[in-house]
Structure 1
Amino acid sequence: MDDRPTDKSAELLPAHERTQATAVALASPVLERAKAPGVAPFPRPQQPGGAQPDYRTLDRMARALMARATQGISPDALVQTVADWMLHLAQAPGKRAELAQTAAMTAARLAMWYPYSVADGRHSAPFAPAQTDHRFADPGWSQWPFNVFVQNFLGAEAWWADATRDVPGLAREREAEAAFMARAAVDVVSPSNIPWMNPVSIAKTINEGGQNLARGAANWLEDFDRMLAGRPPVGAENFQVGRDVAITPGKVVFRNDLMELIQYEPTTARVSAEPILIIPAWIMKYYILDLEPKTSLARWLVERGHTVFMVSWKNPDARDRNVGLDDYRRLGVEAALDAVSAIVPDRKVHTCGYCLGGTILAIAAATLARDGDDRIASMTLFASQTDFAEAGEIMLFLDEGQIMLLDDLMWDQGFLDSRQMAGAFQALRSDELIWGKCIREYVLGERDEMSALMAWNADQTRMPARMHSQYLHGLYLENRLTSGRYAVDGRKIALRDIRAPIFVVGMARDHIAPWKSVYKICLFTDTDVTFTLASGGHNVGIVNPPNGKRSSYQLMTMGRSERYVEPDTWVAAAPSYQGSWWPAWEAWLRAAGSGDDAPPPRMGATEAGLPPLCDAPGNYVRG
């Protein structure tokens, strides 16, 4: 049967128009099918039994394999950033001319200085490293020819910083990514990372006759063997959980499929009436807040007459792939709060969250406030973000393409291993955490002395696939919590519903939760907020006992009726104090409570179905 068009008017058209009309007529059934809602223009291949193959699964498998090879870093995102930067730079002749002039001026400054670099110390070098850059602190770097190596490197570093700055048309996010990539690439060729250009490694090798290189090779082989075997780094065995760290006496008084609740034994005859519930991050083990006795925040609080409860999260595996962010709120924070209320009835509870634990605590507190539950006496956030619009350099690794790759990796594994996250965090401080460590341990042959904090950092954890995907998409990418789009049980929540006073601690050198991002909670709450800016980084700034170690902090309270103060203005106005911020926080807790004291509560509540299950630190922390 001939299905060609029979319209005689087509024969009156010129030949090429008749051909075009015939083609359109032949294609019209397919085009009409494509316009039909929900109907594909071409049928998909059928498997035996009528099932259709899902080729997207093959795509996800391929991306998951790539993510395993790259430790979760998306090569597509890197290529797109470089291409975007190059394209915009190619369209900016003025910027290119400026860079050419900068290069010429840099070369001229170096050329004029070279003759004085040999012995004349009266002429200062044209470039100086940043105050936080300690790679060239050794006196050997001021001697020729090493000072020439340093100046050439610093000149190139400055030029590349200019090359990735203020490129017309380049989006701010792309500019930050390009600047980071350029800095990381330049750091690779730093003379401090090249043994035969490093005066420290040269002197060490000469003085020891090469023995340092032999020790370095042995160190590398030992580390490589431990990595393949999945064993912790050298020295971590000296910090065993329950023997050397996490040894504050207590009992596990509640356990579910997601967490254990530890109640610490009292050491005083009377205690503050309001107990303290601490929600640590689940990205690492809880015992950063209960390290050695001299650095344990939990022990320090107990010794000052507080009843302390601590959540210890389960280390999930592939079986927990469907555990979501809401499960951490419901089975974590709210279940722990219910248990504390059963053990210490008729009392409000001071709540405290660290990092991700603080974020989920803020979500839970807003949910409870929305529902009329006023059991929270106060809320403390340690280095915890609630707004993610300016989440710092970690956002360089969290665009749509990067998160899609992580989603596929977690889809394959069922979880995200902390080793697959470590690369991003180390890259933020590559000169110290990657290259500096390699030179010290593998060239100089010097082992870094293991500390309790370092051993804790090496105690790896995992995160469930569903939870981490929801966290990255809902908070980092979409910033739902502070934009009024975060829903719990089908209803939106708002941080402004929280009426309990809030104490917030930000860290001046925090690369994970930048203090200005942490500070933004002042924009979204309607209660008194006491903000503390402490010296130190994300972990060291928290493990800050008042034992005479050099540290400092600024502290100031902003009342709910006061106008908003921007971060830089706050820094200029807030009083400064020497020492640890722990005593100031403990005094704030007492002021935020009722002021009453009472005999210590019993361990657990057997009549309420919460008998002591085992001794602290429990079972989940060993997983």
Structure 2
Amino acid sequence: MTLKPTAQPPAPDPLDGVAETMDRAAFAAIAQATHGLSPATMTQSFADWAMHLAVSPGKQAQLAAKAGRKMVRLADYLTHMGDPQDGRPAIEPLPQDHRFDDPAWKHWPYNLFSQSFLLNQQWWHAATTGVMGVTKHHEAVVSFAMRQMLDTLAPTNFVATNPVLQQKIIDTKGRCLIEGGKLWLEDVKHLLRGDGSAENSAFRPGQEVAITPGKVVYRNALMELIQYAPTTDQVRPEPVLIVPAWIMKYYILDLAPDHSLIRWLVGQGYTVFAISWHNPDSADRDRDMDDYRRMGVIAAMDAIAATTGARGIHALGYCLGGTLLSIAAAAMARDGDDRLASLTLLAAQTEFSEPGELGLFIDEAQLNLLDSMMWSRGYLDSAQMGGAFQMLRSNDLVWSRILKTYLMGERDQPSDLMAWNADGTRMPYAMHSQYLRQLFLNDDLAEGRYLVDGRPISLSAIKQPMFVVGTETDHVAPWRSVHKIHWLTDAPIRFVLTSGGHNAGIVSEPGHPHRHYRMMDRPAGAPAIGPDEWLARAEAHDGSWWIAWGEWLGAHSGAPVPPPPMGNAIMDAPGNYVLEH
């Protein structure tokens, strides 16, 4: 019998590498020029919207009618604005829009400016949404882009149309503009030196923040593990591992002592460990999600078990750290590793089909630009990600800040949270590309396509009790997206919706004024309910969710025992990695 020769795969084209390098360099240059925004995505979105609007006579007629009604409303308001009975505004700002709160905006001609702007803003929202045939993503991009342009032209941004700014200039005899110029120069100097903003110098890790006593007891190339010194005579037998996101420094959970979740947790009688991530640079370009799982979560659990001998560990993951913890927990459950006693997820997404407005920056064209930009550097700079977050709330995070700081000459009082927010980190190329494509774009984790060690994992394998927190005004991990964990596992879940945003809602210490939350349990195996039904049924509470979490954690812990020994100390907390810039 004659054997046929095995077909050989075609030889690679010798120009493949050269072509990719040239294309990557070209796209990286475009990304630098556009601050990472894809011109292709913007062009496709506006073309989709404009072409469908052009052939929609019903929508055009509706918009024309809306414009006419808004003109009548504005005219009616101007006619009756002197009448205390009938002088109600033509339109009220959205609840989160505080640009026109000052009473000066109710006087002529500034009421004309503000009311015209708000009516115009409302009309453009109607014009950019609800056009038949436009894809959901393109509609969101166009609506977002128009909102950005309108926010740029808001009457609050100009001396001639802002009565509050005008009065400030009169009261200070123009001194506020001089002070604002000084603050601008100060910020430019900090930017050129690369040492962060002027506000964060009053809150330094290891001195004013991140000062809960502890030791670095383990270190590898990706993280340092901190063990905190006990402050109670007895502790629960299950230690707590905190897994923060590497998009942020870990001390968001160890701010000034009165705001520190870690210090509070130690005081509740727990042995607490926290991961402090290395701030990656170009040498770490090939670190991927699995590196963070193995060298982060799993390595930390191994070190904790070796130090304490504990048979069960309570694990807490925040933001991207919660997503990573969910992946690690699912892989552990698949492989029969039962070291986790419970999971706590704070503002962490596990299902990404509705990620909120961050999804605006996630499509193939956008990711191609980001990939190329990261490819050229080996990482994504914190300023790039921070800029995207600020754009989502440009009227209060960009324009209001510029107005107050550089025109009114007033700098916000520095705070530990502001300082932490300015203490940015980087993300390695391989990890961030994988995260955006497999999770945000393809939703592989929820769809059962995410691989760990070459085999798929499923969150349905997780059976440990879960405490899951969403925040009401989160623009990074919208609470309805966080809530979708109910559809992915039959594990018992206590879901909490707390007041505040992605950061301030989590830093919600007992005694913090004006805090409230809703909470409801879903027993193991019980059917899931939608977020709107959950919101209607969940019980409302005043105060901090920390208290509810402490009670839940205690109910899933053993009887108190003497504290375990401290691990072999490498150095005092907060360690070296948190100080990396």
TM-score of the superposed pair, with normalisation by structure 2? 0.96
Amino acid at match of 1:513: A
Residue 613 of structure 1 is matched in structure 2 by: 570
Unaligned runs of 5+ in 1: 1-36, 45-49, 605-610
Unaligned runs of 5+ in 2: 1-8
TM-score of the superposed pair, with normalisation by structure 1? 0.90
Mean Cα deviation higher: 107-116 or 117-126: 117-126
User: How far did 1:51 drift?
Assistant: 7.1
Residue 434 of structure 1 is matched in structure 2 by: 398
Residue 54 of structure 1 is matched in structure 2 by: 18
Residue 532 of structure 1 is matched in structure 2 by: 496
* 1:124-183 Cα deviation digits (max 9, x unpaired): 222111122111000000011100111111111111011011101011111111111111
Residue 600 of structure 1 is matched in structure 2 by: 563
The answer to whether the 8 Å contact 1:250/1:264 transfers is yes
Amino acid at match of 2:358: I
- CA RMSD in angstroms comes to 1.6
Amino acid at match of 1:395: G
Mean Cα deviation higher: 229-238 or 83-92: 229-238
Q: Based on CA coordinates, which of the two structures has the bigger radius of gyration?
A: 1
Measured in 1, the distance between the counterparts of 2:318 and 2:89 equals: 44
Measured in 2, the distance between the counterparts of 1:326 and 1:240 equals: 31
User: How far did 1:280 drift?
Assistant: 0.4
Aligned runs of 1:536-551 on 2, under 5 Å?
536-551=500-515
Mean Cα deviation higher: 326-335 or 114-123: 114-123
Measured in 1, the distance between the counterparts of 2:574 and 2:208 equals: 12
User: How far did 1:309 drift?
Assistant: 0.3
The answer to whether the 8 Å contact 2:117/2:154 transfers is yes
* 1:415-462 Cα deviation digits (max 9, x unpaired): 001101111100110000000001001111111111100000111110
Correspondence 1:223 to 2:187: yes
* 1:319-370 Cα deviation digits (max 9, x unpaired): 0000011000011000001111111114200000000000000000000000
The answer to whether the 8 Å contact 1:88/1:168 transfers is yes
Measured in 1, the distance between the counterparts of 2:322 and 2:179 equals: 43
Measured in 2, the distance between the counterparts of 1:424 and 1:134 equals: 21
Measured in 2, the distance between the counterparts of 1:503 and 1:118 equals: 54
Question: What secondary structure does 1:557 align onto?
Answer: strand
Aligned runs of 1:81-92 on 2, under 5 Å?
81-92=45-56
Q: Size of the alignment, in residue pairs?
A: 572
User: How far did 1:66 drift?
Assistant: 2.0
User: How far did 1:526 drift?
Assistant: 1.6
Identity of aligned residues (%): 51
Correspondence 1:270 to 2:234: yes
Correspondence 1:377 to 2:334: no
Amino acid at match of 1:139: P
Residue 557 of structure 1 is matched in structure 2 by: 521
CA 1:52–1:485 in structure 2 vs 1: closer, same or farther (change >3 Å)?
A: closer
Residue 5 of structure 2 is matched in structure 1 by: none
Residue 251 of structure 2 is matched in structure 1 by: 287
Correspondence 1:584 to 2:541: no
Residue 4 of structure 2 is matched in structure 1 by: none
Aligned runs of 1:28-427 on 2, under 5 Å?
54-117=18-81, 122-427=86-391
Measured in 2, the distance between the counterparts of 1:537 and 1:79 equals: 32
Amino acid at match of 1:406: L
User: How far did 1:75 drift?
Assistant: 2.3
Measured in 1, the distance between the counterparts of 2:337 and 2:16 equals: 50
CA 1:547–1:52 in structure 2 vs 1: closer, same or farther (change >3 Å)?
A: closer
Measured in 1, the distance between the counterparts of 2:236 and 2:68 equals: 68
Amino acid at match of 2:146: A
Residue 481 of structure 1 is matched in structure 2 by: 445
Question: What secondary structure does 1:133 align onto?
Answer: coil
Question: What secondary structure does 1:598 align onto?
Answer: coil
User: How far did 1:248 drift?
Assistant: 0.4
Measured in 2, the distance between the counterparts of 1:621 and 1:453 equals: 15
CA 1:344–1:39 in structure 2 vs 1: closer, same or farther (change >3 Å)?
A: closer
Measured in 1, the distance between the counterparts of 2:433 and 2:542 equals: 41
Question: What secondary structure does 2:215 align onto?
Answer: strand
Amino acid at match of 2:574: P
The answer to whether the 8 Å contact 1:545/1:582 transfers is yes
Measured in 2, the distance between the counterparts of 1:74 and 1:121 equals: 50
Residue 33 of structure 1 is matched in structure 2 by: none
Measured in 1, the distance between the counterparts of 2:149 and 2:43 equals: 14
* 1:462-496 Cα deviation digits (max 9, x unpaired): 00000000000000001000101111111111111
Measured in 2, the distance between the counterparts of 1:525 and 1:201 equals: 53
* 1:511-552 Cα deviation digits (max 9, x unpaired): 000001001001011210110000000000111110242200
Match of 2:433 among 431, 453, 469: 469
The answer to whether the 8 Å contact 2:223/2:278 transfers is yes
The answer to whether the 8 Å contact 2:238/2:310 transfers is no
The answer to whether the 8 Å contact 2:381/2:425 transfers is yes
Residue 21 of structure 1 is matched in structure 2 by: none
CA 1:118–1:148 in structure 2 vs 1: closer, same or farther (change >3 Å)?
A: farther
CA 1:39–1:379 in structure 2 vs 1: closer, same or farther (change >3 Å)?
A: closer
The answer to whether the 8 Å contact 1:523/1:564 transfers is yes
The answer to whether the 8 Å contact 1:71/1:421 transfers is no
Mean Cα deviation higher: 85-94 or 73-82: 73-82
The answer to whether the 8 Å contact 1:275/1:350 transfers is yes
Measured in 2, the distance between the counterparts of 1:220 and 1:461 equals: 24
